[in-house]
Amino acid sequence: MNNLQTDNAPSLSVVIPPFIFGALSFLILTVFIALTGSELLGAYFAGKMLAITHLAVLGWSTMIVLGALYQLVPVVFAAGLFSEKLASVTFWSFAVSIILLVYAFWTNAFTTTLLYAASLMFSSLALFGLNILLSKKNGKQNIQSNFVTAAVFWLLLTALLGLLISFNFRYNFFTQIHLNYLKIHAHLGLIGWFVSLIIGVSSTLIPMFLVSHQLDHKKLTYSFYLINIGLSLLTLDWWFLHGSFFIPVYWLAISAGVIFYLMFVREAYLKRLRKDLDTGMKYTMISVLTMLAPILISLLIMLKADFGNSFQLRATTLYGFSIIFGLITPIILGQTYKTLPFIIWLHKYKEYVGKYKTPLPKDLYSELIGKIQIAIFYTSVLIFTGALLFQSSVMITLGSYLLVLVAVLYNVNVYKIIAHKISMERIGS
């Protein structure tokens, strides 16, 4: 954890706003899911479904990632953030673009508001990408930083394609139906941006938090090339060939890349010196294992498995759900409890270490709330999975209410961390 302490760390004004916006977005997201109800069992490309999906991947996931990554840039790159002012501008423009984008999808304003929202979104993410890449320029080069760089590249490509899709709704210049490009857009974001970033950052943080040494980083190198080559070929195939018989080969490459990463995490876990896992690491380790779920679901989709009752449509929704709520969300929930308390603790107590008895970073939030949150979250995930498999509106309702409760508990702990008041006593008094 002490490796997060660095003179290159950015100010709180850069890190905290994305965490606040992300936490509130998570709460709003769960309310939207509850309001949508049984419509979640319908087409994944409907307006409300697109609003919920983009609020999840942008307002909740990516916004939190922005805040965390600004803090972690010195750890991964061994260099300071290029520009805090640019980071602040990025936050506000990104926040506005998210609000506009979700509104456009929710109200089906595909030919009006969506164009402005997507344009501002692309500009915001371009500023973010520029800041991260310029930060890396003078930093160290290793496999973890390569993963982060690749993730930023895929993010910008995702935003660019999203911009083109939004303009296509109005000007209709694509040669194929927009669902073909939406499929590419989704995979660039979910695999290229999120999976690459998760692997790059977690392969630095997990060994750090578990206190694991002498790990085989060749597994990460294999993972990097397999995932990026597989995704590149898959994208080109879908764009130009619209799905050839080589698709299983790309799937196998990406899946093998994920497996090599899981092997690295397993090695770190087995070699750990810190045996007890706190709330954050429990979330993280469970979510890492759930990487296998979208691999299996995508295999069923690719093989066109037919279990009746529009299984392919439900499987596609379940595939996205397994990545967003099975992998990304628990990773963020877990790492919030690892990074945010330390960021606040460092800001408030750095000058007093050694002179006063100070609380630990984990004392800044309620461990009990965190444990209850874990139990409720995974219960809701299991219920949602059952609802999507068996088309149960009752289970959708129950799962959505539980998810709202998770978001409330998460916001309570985030507020508790951010609003922490200094409390200490002089050593030896």
The domain that holds 406 is classified in CATH as: 1.20.210.10
Q: How far apart are CA 307 and CA 423, in angstroms?
A: 59
CB 299 within 8 A of CB 318: no
Our measurement of the distance from residue 307's CA atom to the centroid of its chain's CA atoms, rounded to an integer in Å, reads 31
Residue ranges making up the domain that contains 359: 2-426
Q: What is the pTM of this model?
A: 0.91
114 near 163, Cβ under 8 Å? no
Return per-residue pLDDT of the chain as tens, 429 residues.
Answer: 445 555 677 888 899 999 999 999 999 999 999 998 777 776 667 888 899 999 999 999 999 999 988 888 877 777 788 899 999 999 999 999 999 999 999 999 999 999 999 999 999 999 999 999 898 887 778 899 899 999 999 999 999 999 999 999 999 999 888 888 999 999 999 999 999 999 998 898 899 889 998 899 999 999 999 999 999 999 999 999 988 999 999 999 999 999 999 999 999 999 999 888 877 788 788 888 889 999 999 998 888 766 555 667 778 888 989 999 988 998 898 888 888 998 898 888 888 877 778 888 889 999 999 889 989 999 999 999 998 888 888 999 999 999 999 999 999 999 999 998 887 665 554
| CA gap 204, 267 in Å, rounded | 13
- In contact, 343 and 18? CB cutoff 8 Å: no
Domain count, the chain: 1
| CB atoms inside a 10 Å sphere around CB 353 | 12
CB 251 within 8 A of CB 301: no
Q: How far apart are the first and last CA of the chain?
A: 28
SS3 293: helix
